[in-house]
Structure 1
Amino acid sequence: MEIRKKIDKVLGNTLVLIMAVMVVNVLWQVFTRFIVGTPSSFTDELARYLMIWVGVLGAAYVSGKRMHVAIDLIPRKISKPNQVKLKIFVNILIIIFCLAALVIGGARLVYITYVLEQYSPALQIPLALVYLVIPISGLLIIFYKVSDIFNKQLF
């Protein structure tokens, strides 16, 4: 559990940092557009990429804190032992989805954009770096769900 706490702390601090950079970035955009009269060319694109990172990494963080949206209609109507079995089954489904869609699919997306040498128009950074958050988030969610199953922290 010690490693989980460290990952939670690093991930939480990373999200705070990304949000802080995003706020400063948007404030700079507003300042250059309305005060200076010449809008900055990179701020729109940077805000978009930071929003992607916050959204996807935030999903992993919320999953690790077990605060994600869940429909609990069925679990409330079954016995406690069956609730545990259902939660394990649901976590296994989440692991399979994250492995297939986020880790494997995301890694393929990163690889394709890297091989094709796609760069963002304004920032001129490789789009593979922008998309790298997808497999990272998938691995984090898998880690959290496996940890939940093995540590019996399903509720």
Structure 2
Amino acid sequence: MAGIGAALLAALVAYSVFMRWVVGAPPHWAEELPQLVLVWTALLAGVACTYKRSHLSAGLMPLLVSSPAVRRGITRATDLLLLVMLLLLAKAGWDLAWLTMSQTTTALQLPAGLVYLSVPVCCAGMALAQCDHLLARQPLPQEGDA
């Protein structure tokens, strides 16, 4: 899904640049539509990254914590904290989306809340991924691991 969004964004920007600099008549949505696609694409990609645990990380925990059992405990605590924060962000995004739904965007005349709606939708998706991580059966530490 994120790849489709990135391809769509590239096509929209290329078309806008062509229309502005070659034809001399930029489309009326030249800034607004790519911005909407960018926000939704980035947040949808965040859902996929959360599910796959592929977010950028420094990778310092294995260097600082040698016990696999302690590392798993820290990971579970981090997953729980992330879940709480994502739910709080989803609630705030929901409130903001509904607050701005009655306003319209300048060029496309779409509800302005559509941009902000990406926050609760994608945070809910990330929260579901965090629930999946928390409920996943963790292997027990081996005798030599502790």
TM over 0.5: yes
Counterpart of 2:143 in structure 1 is none
Written as runs of structure 1 = structure 2, the 5 A alignment for 1:4-153 is: 14-78=1-65, 79-101=67-89, 103-114=90-101, 117-152=102-137
In the TM superposition, residue 77 of structure 1 has moved relative to its aligned partner by 2.9
In the TM superposition, residue 48 of structure 1 has moved relative to its aligned partner by 1.1
Write out per-residue CA displacement over residues 103-148 of structure 1, whole angstroms, 9 at most, x where no aligned residue.
101100111112xx11110111001112111011111111111111
In the TM superposition, residue 72 of structure 1 has moved relative to its aligned partner by 3.6
Output the CA distance in 2 between the equivalents of 1:99 and 1:70: 22
Output the CA distance in 1 between the equivalents of 2:12 and 2:60: 42
Moved more, 118-127 or 144-153: 144-153
Report if aligned partners of 1:75, 1:86 keep a CA contact under 8 Å in 2: no
Report if aligned partners of 2:2, 2:42 keep a CA contact under 8 Å in 1: no
Report if aligned partners of 1:64, 1:145 keep a CA contact under 8 Å in 2: yes
TM-score (norm 2): 0.86
Determine which structure has more spread, i.e. the larger CA radius of gyration. 2
Output the CA distance in 2 between the equivalents of 1:70 and 1:89: 16
In the TM superposition, residue 17 of structure 1 has moved relative to its aligned partner by 2.4
Q: If each structure's helix is expressed as a fraction of its own residues, which one has the higher value?
A: 1
Amino acid across the alignment from 2:49: V
Report if aligned partners of 2:105, 2:111 keep a CA contact under 8 Å in 1: yes
Identity of aligned residues (%): 25
Output the CA distance in 2 between the equivalents of 1:153 and 1:130: 37
- How many residues align? The count is 138
**Gap runs ≥5 in structure 2:** 140-146
In the TM superposition, residue 20 of structure 1 has moved relative to its aligned partner by 2.3
Q: Summarize the Cα distance change of 1:138–1:24 in structure 2 as closer, same or farther, 3 Å threshold.
A: same
**Gap runs ≥5 in structure 1:** 1-13
SS of match in other structure, 1:88: helix
Output the CA distance in 1 between the equivalents of 2:21 and 2:58: 45
